[in-house]
Amino acid sequence: MQRLALFDLDNTLVDRQLALSAWAMEFADDRGLGREAVRWLIAADGQGLRARDQFFREVREHFGLAQCAGELWAGFRARMPDLVRCEPEVLEGLSQLRASGWRVGIVSNGMADNQLAKIQRSGLGERVDACCVSGEVGVRKPDVRIFQLAAERCGTALGAGGWMVGDDPEHDIAGGRAAGLRTVWIGGQLVRPRGEPPAERTVPSALAAIRLLRDGF
């Protein structure tokens, strides 16, 4: 049986918060906004969970910027892929997982241009069988259909079973479980999403999740 492992992207395979901090410092420095602006931007971002158009309208208004929100958002999407990094150990771990017989995919919510560029520039594109980004396919996690598409792109089906690895209790854990996948949660003490049972496994990092799957959990 072909084994399937699906991974979230931001704050799972790559550290989005680290990249966001770098972007916020550049953004503030380029406009002479000061260090307090960096802290404000990071807090207002809401760990990427806020609607981007709303976030950049607020950024424009808060700092009195001449650029429209759409231009600020476009600049963000163009810059973030250059700031995102995937640890070499994670890249190697994904290669080892595939070599041991797993089909590996990425399932991510977000704009297609931004997320796909992150995947390619971080080196992840060469280490997975397929990726499925909500902005490209028109459906978002936790909708079961995006997991179905990801499995199909990996050359298998959800009915064959598999795992979803991610940091978001609703999008990744509840969504993965609804799709019939077992789940690995990246984080600390898991709050049960919408009353659902917790993930089958909880680990501190993507590398730990990869090793768990590779070594037979």
Strands in 182-186's sheet, in edge-to-edge order, are 130-133, 102-108, 3-7, 163-166, 182-186, 201-203
Give the residue carrying structure tokens 């499925």: 132
Please give the average per-residue pLDDT across 57-72, as a whole number.
96
- Model confidence at 20, pLDDT cuts 50, 70, 90, reads very high
Centroid of chain to Cα 135? 13
Please give the average per-residue pLDDT across 76-101, as a whole number.
95
End-to-end C-alpha distance for the chain, whole angstroms? 17
- What CA–CA distance (Å, rounded) separates 59 from 208? 36
Per-residue model confidence (pLDDT) at position 14? 96
Please give the average per-residue pLDDT across 47-71, as a whole number.
93
The 10s digit of each residue's pLDDT in 95-129 is: 999 999 999 999 999 999 999 999 999 999 999 99
Verify cis geometry, omega within 30 degrees of 0, for the bond prior to 142: yes
Per-residue model confidence (pLDDT) at position 51? 87
pLDDT at 48 over 90: no
Q: Encoding tokens for residue 212?
A: 């768990």
Q: Compute φ and ψ for 118, nearest 5 degrees.
A: -60, -45
The 10s digit of each residue's pLDDT in 152-168 is: 999 999 988 899 999 99
Hey, how many other C-beta atoms are within 10 angstroms of the C-beta on 117? 18
- Model confidence at 47, pLDDT cuts 50, 70, 90, reads confident
Q: Which three-class secondary structure state does DSSP give residue 182? A: strand
